[in-house]
Amino acid sequence: MIGVELRKLFRRPRTWVTIAVLNALPVLVAVLVQLTDLAPRPGEGPPFLSAVLTNGALFPLAALAIVLPLFLPIAVAVVAGDAVAGEAQAGTLRYLLVRPAGRTRLLVAKLVAVIAFVLATVLVVAGVGYVVGTTLFDAQPVGGGTSVSGTSLTQQELAGRSLMAIGYVTVSMLGVAAFGLFFSTLTDSPLAAALGALAVLVTSSLLFTLDAASPIAPYLPTRYWLAFVDLFRDPILWRDVVRGLALQGVYVGVLLAAAWANFTTKDVTS
């Protein structure tokens, strides 16, 4: 059933259009920075972008930081929101459920498909970022790079930490995916489900900037998103990374349980 869902997702043209659009923004930023030679001033703009002019191999991270706050979660919310509600809207959900596989397995298969989409998207953004970064900017293939703390990282260390960052960004999107999937079981409209997940994200991002909301900040789904920067400190600052992983785990667990409680007892008519 998981294989069926994966094939369905990746055979759709719109999946690939979404990934292409996601890549357009970092590429545009790279071209503009290269043409004008104007990187954002240190401390402003997305993380790592100001360092890209001296080391193009850092552009995959800058590209991820560019799409992470808005573009990537929108794409994930749309795909996850479509998972169940899309079938309901197309009138195919009840045929899907006639198969003896069961609703719980269908939910898990949908979640796995969304996770696969997130991973593919993040990998493509990082890969395109690497190609664009090393083509447009000077890369430092011999010396590796400099960590955020000012120590030297070998090429292997930099690659290893970049891979960890890609994994971390993927996990960070699971919370959004779980919200989208849960809302998708509540409604027959994929648009409503995607907008619901986005509403949660906007609320979370807004509350995170408010000092008055600091007591609940550790529980906001977007709280630890930027913690992938901590992987490039030396020694690595694991605290927020570990908390980010645990928090996403809790959100996925709770929302999947809620989606399961709702979906397995729902009267499916379309």
Partner 1 sequence: MAARGYGATPRWAAVGLLVALLVALPSVVAALPADDADVPAADLRAAVLASADVGFSGYAVSAGGLALPVSDRLTAVADLFSDRTLVRVWWRGPEEHRVDVVTAAGETGVHRDPGGTWTWDFEAATATRGSPASLALPSPPDLLPAALGRRLLSEAAEDELSRAGARRVAGRDALGLRVVPADAASSVGRVDVWVDPASGLPLQVEVFAEDADLPALDTRFLDLDLAVPPADVVAFTPPPDATVLPAPDTEELIAQAEERAPDVSLPDELAGLPRRTFAGVPDAVGVYGRGVTLLAAAPLPGRLAGGLREALTASPDAVTDELGTRVAAGPLGLMLVTPPDGPAYVLTGTVTLDALADAARRLPGAAS
The residues of the shown chain that bind partner 1, judged by CB under 8 A, are: 42-43, 46-48, 50-51, 54, 65, 94, 97, 143, 146, 148-152, 226, 229-230, 233, 235, 237, 239, 250, 253-254, 257-258, 260-262, 264-268
**Smallest gap from residue 177 Cβ to partner 1 (A):** 18
CB closer to partner 1, 28 vs 254: 254
SS3 percent helix, strand, coil of the chain, rounded to 5, is: 75, 0, 25
Position 179, amino acid: F
| C-alpha distances in Å from residue 255, one per residue of 35, 42, 94 | 45, 39, 23
**Smallest gap from residue 146 Cβ to partner 1 (A):** 4
CB closer to partner 1, 135 vs 151: 151
> What's the CA gap between 144 and 241, in Å, rounded?
23
- Residue 91's Cβ-side half-sphere holds a number of Cα atoms within 13 Å equal to 0
**Smallest gap from residue 115 Cβ to partner 1 (A):** 21
Direct distance between the N- and C-terminal alpha carbons of the chain, in angstroms, rounded to an integer: 20
CB closer to partner 1, 135 vs 264: 264
CB closer to partner 1, 71 vs 232: 232
> What's the CA gap between 154 and 200, in Å, rounded?
40
**Smallest gap from residue 256 Cβ to partner 1 (A):** 10
